[in-house]
A and B are shown apart, each in its own frame.
Chain A
Amino acid sequence: MKPMLDRRCLLLGALAAPAAVRAATPDHPLLHAPWTEIVAAARGQTVFWNAWGGDDRTNGFIAWVNDRVSERFGFRVQHVRLRDTAEAVARVVAEKAAGRLEGGSVDLIWINGPNFLAMKEAGLLFGPFVDRLPNARFIDREGKPATVTDFTVPVDGLAAPWRMAQIVYVYDSARVSNPPRSIPAMLDWARANPGRLTHPTARNFLGATFLKQALFELTPDQSVLAAPATDATFDAASAPLWAWYEAIRPYLWRRGQHFPENGPAQRALMNDGEIDIMISFNPSEASTAIATGQLPPSVRSFVLERGTIGNASFVAIPFNAAHKAAAMVLADFLLSAEAQAHAQDPRVLGSPTVLALERLPPEERARFDRLPRGSATLSDAELGRPLPEPHPSWMTRIVAEWERRVSR
């Protein structure tokens, strides 16, 4: 594995160094056409939206989006359900390698982090298109900097944000009275309650995030996380993380030998009572899951005293997408108050909006005021301002190191 890893790190390192904007298609006619023409061109198309398909609520949301846009704009959304977002990136890379420069099979990707960086740096993205979207002016760029800087990487208009995420931990209040509010306290808790804590496999983004959150709190100097990881900075900064992880691992579910595939699989363990605490990227996970019967009514949320990591989810359009016009209209619809309020509804997704509500017209803002706030959801004050994501190279290295440690 070593030569491969070196190659990947080299690639990431080499590409990350000169951070020049590398839009693949700045001269594309769609980037200069009036919006009405784009909407007209979109009619009749089918957008192949490649999005992680493991979460049923997101799948339901995408189906709702399809209903709305087919009614309003006359195009269809086909959800290509991925096991892992990397599959879609690989497909675009493979198509480029095979010389398919247009008519590509991926129209829109739900993306962020290392996948976004890889596509951006390899010049595989269409755009910059975000400022061409009429609803882009409502994005809360100042209040939610993650909407313009993804994992320290400038988005440069190559991807449109559509939902915010922040780590919360969900616990069963019927079984846990005092949940641990820091990473070291989590170790003590696990020692006292062996087998009752786990995290998704680090190959899944949520599992990697569990480790990143621990890294953030344990590392001696957080400022190095903003720059690409090197061998030297990674070893020094991650040593306390691995010491902590080796200490806690024997007390994890299945003695740290097995891990659930992803967040929903972890949620099923929680619902069955196999575990008592779980990580989530959705601040209203607890309320939403109670509403859908996926978790018992006794679950509540908590965050760590020193804050938790947050980020934004984006949609990006590959350079060779066959249906760019409809993909743009879709990205714009996702930014509409209607779609954002629907996504923020705890009975649907419970994802916080990317918009600055005060900038919306009053009748649009009212959509958000009408939303219920679940009893198991923290207030904005309790949630706190999200911590920034480390540079994607940290995630890539953490996953590889984790894989090395847990594989026998």
Chain B
Amino acid sequence: MGASGLALRLLVAPRPGALLRAAPTLTLVLFLGPIAAGLAGTALPAFGFLPAIGGERLSLAPWAALLQAPGFAASLQLTLTSGFAATALSLGIVVLFCAACHDTALFRLAQATLAPMLATPHAAIAIGFAFLAAPSGMVARLLSPWATGWTRPPDLATVNDSAGIALVAGLVLKEVPYLLLATLTALNQVRAPALMRAARSLGYSPAAGWMKAVFPVVYPQIRLPVYAVLAFSLSVVDVAIVLGPGTSPTLGVLAMRWFSDRDLALWFPASAASLLLAVLVSLAIALWRMGEAILSRLGRRWIEAGGRGGGGGALRLAGAGALAAVATLSLAALLVLLLWSAAGPWRFPHALPSSLTLETWRAQAGRLAEAFRATATIGALASCGAVALALLCLEAEHRFGIEPSARALWLLYAPLLLPQLAFLFGLQVLFVRAGVDGTVAAVVWAHLLFVLPYVFLSLADPWRAMDRRLARSAAALGAGPWRTFFTVKLPVMLRPILAASAIGFAVSAGQYLPTLFAGAGRITTLTTEAVTLSGGSDRRVIAAWALAQALLPLLVYAVATAAPPFAWRNRRGLAVA
């Protein structure tokens, strides 16, 4: 961690004011440097160049090998269809729900349940969903044999299907809460209530009014999150391992398989596949952008036609139903994990285990505690680091009047718009060369790349909305800028800071590929272990690990929510902030 050590020394050096001014730039270097280097380190082997394993000349051979790999066409097709389907479906559900239910009590309920849904890692939800939907899963058990007549599981591919339907479903469960949160944040910025009042006074039904007056101004605000979802769905590996097909898997899984083969020559086509993923994601975003243009033209015609929309009872039901299905499935996924982790023998088609036991937890306790500790340490370091960097950047922004540009926002989103595979391999090569691979520091840094954008985005709005008169009053009373920062701004910002830390922690705890690549397989977290086990192990053991993986970020989230009211119980103004 040489560069960050340097940054740290610079930041605590004697003239903090001048160095604070450099904080945004330093953060970008710390953050985009490894990504750029990692991308180059993946692109070179994609064209045959990696002298350490005998690739001395640039060539197209890796691409030829990739194109001729068995099942490549099917993999490519699956990657594209599942990526687009998951994104379109998630966005569709969110828009439907917002349009149909924005004025109901359900909307507030959804807001309250969002955060815990977001904090649950992808892999845990995917594993729980598989336990629900598999032919021998909970749904089939509850319906058998009385309704289905099945005394043994049906020979149906309800998970790991070659069309990727289960994969899409698993992704939707996680992407809907994320997009909904992004939409809710955007709604606060566009003065939606005023727009809706105007639309209602012109006689528009709630749903039509929302679609015609609010959605067109909200969408530009959630465009980047939508692209991030598209990029993620196209390139995800852990969910695809759990729910996607094993033969002709997605491109990401195929690349991962080759990266871990004992034949290092396979690193070349694996790098090519990773680079191809990056190209696919860029093309997909461009295609989506074109779709936006077409839809907005059609939509304008629809808006100008002036239809006021109908009663909307059915629509309301559909919107609420879709979101309720997502929330129920997520919750059921966690409950079925809990049940399996405490199950004795449990054969199909019994709806409940024949006995309950803590034997699984007892047998796994040692390993779980170890992975729990590693996950917590890495998550705490990564989220604290990210919060510190974000605060310094925001403070610099405040103090020196730096105006964040739209380009900066794109840069911040870079790690979320690029497939992880596209730069993690290159990054690993760098880490190996520097002799730091397999260390906690390397893993924390790799996590930071994904934690920082989320932390920054969640802190930026509350920070920028902070009442500037507070700082001015403090200055008028004689406090220096740093004293104001520590004794006025930070306490006022405690709630958003803790919320951002919890988000950062959840992001870190859910990371699979960055842990694998930077940790050299020696750093085991709850996520890497749960995904490893999910391929095949006693279901009770998988359940215990997946549940532990889900519980840790939820626990941190609960603490982050409970702490500010406790800390400010004697400050009336802050306690209810």
Interface residues of A (CB under 8 A from B): 1-4, 7-8, 11, 48, 50, 53-56, 59-60, 63, 78, 80-91, 93-95, 97-98, 100, 105, 114-115, 118, 195, 200-201, 203, 253-255, 257-266, 268-269, 271-274, 292-294, 296, 403-404, 406-408
Contact = CB atoms under 8 A, between A and B. Distances in A.
Interface string B85-122: 00000000000000000000000000000000000000
Nearest to A8: B263
Contacts of A406: 247
Given A80-B522, A90-B264, A262 B536 contact: yes
A56 B173 CA distance: 29
Interface in B110-142: 135-136
Contact of B136 (A11, A255, A272, A294): A272
A263 B363 CA distance: 21
Given A63-B366, A89-B262, A407-B70, A3 B61 contact: yes
Given A97-B53, A98-B52, A195 B537 contact: no
Given A1-B70, A3-B64, A408-B248, A118 B262 contact: yes
Interface stretch (B149-157, B380-388, B456-464, B553-561): B149-157
Of the candidates A4, A98, A195, A255, the one having the most CB atoms from chain B within 10 angstroms of its own CB is A4
A86 B262 contact: yes
B265 A254 contact: no
7 contacts: A82-B521, A86-B260, A258-B162, A260-B536, A265-B536, A268-B539, A407-B70
A114 B262 CA distance: 10
B533 A258 contact: no
Nearest to B155: A195
B153 A272 contact: yes
A258 B245 contact: yes
A60 B367 CA distance: 10
B536 A84 contact: no
A195 to B, nearest CB: 4
B157 A258 contact: yes
Contacts, number: 167
Q: Top 3 closest A-B pairs, CB basis?
A: A407-B71, A265-B536, A407-B70
Interface of B: 52-53, 61, 64-65, 68-71, 74, 135-136, 151-153, 155, 157, 160, 162, 245-248, 257, 260-266, 269, 344-345, 347-348, 363, 366-367, 429, 432-433, 435, 437-438, 520-522, 524, 529, 532-533, 535-539, 541
Nearest to B261: A86
Contacts of A255: 155
Of the candidates A59, A259, A263, the one having the most CB atoms from chain B within 10 angstroms of its own CB is A59
B348 A273 contact: yes
A259 B246 contact: yes
B70 A404 contact: yes
A84 B65 CA distance: 22
B78 to A, nearest CB: 10
Contact of A97 (B52, B157, B269, B345): B52
Contact of A48 (B65, B263, B522): B522
Contacts of A257: 157, 162, 247
B127 to A, nearest CB: 13
A81 B532 contact: yes
B522 A274 contact: no
B347 A296 contact: yes
Contacts of A268: 136, 536, 538-539
B525 to A, nearest CB: 12
Contacts of A1: 65, 68-70
A201 B53 contact: no
A257 B61 CA distance: 30
A264 B537 contact: yes
Contacts of A407: 70-71, 74, 247-248
B407 to A, nearest CB: 36
Nearest to A55: B537
A105 B520 contact: yes
Contacts of A88: 521
A289 to B, nearest CB: 10
B153 A259 contact: no
B265 A4 contact: yes
B73 to A, nearest CB: 8
Given A87-B521, A262-B535, A406-B247, A273 B157 contact: no
A408 B52 CA distance: 34
A360 B186 CA distance: 75
Contacts of B532: 53-54, 81, 83
A276 to B, nearest CB: 9
A406 B248 CA distance: 9
B57 to A, nearest CB: 15
A83 B157 contact: no
Contacts of A95: 432
A257 B74 CA distance: 13
Contact of A53 (B265, B345, B533): B533
Given A259-B247, A407-B248, 9 more contacts: A11-B263, A56-B541, A83-B260, A90-B264, A105-B437, A105-B522, A262-B535, A274-B136, A408-B71
A94 B347 contact: no
Of the candidates B245, B265, B269, B529, the one having the most CB atoms from chain A within 10 angstroms of its own CB is B265
B344 A293 contact: yes
B534 to A, nearest CB: 9
A100 B157 CA distance: 45
A86 B260 CA distance: 7
B387 to A, nearest CB: 31
A97 to B, nearest CB: 4
A115 B261 CA distance: 10
Contacts of A97: 52-53, 264
A93 B259 CA distance: 12
A263 B536 CA distance: 7
A264 B136 contact: no
B260 A403 contact: no
A32 to B, nearest CB: 30
A84 B262 CA distance: 9
A205 B532 CA distance: 16
A271 B347 contact: yes
A264 B344 contact: no
A157 to B, nearest CB: 22
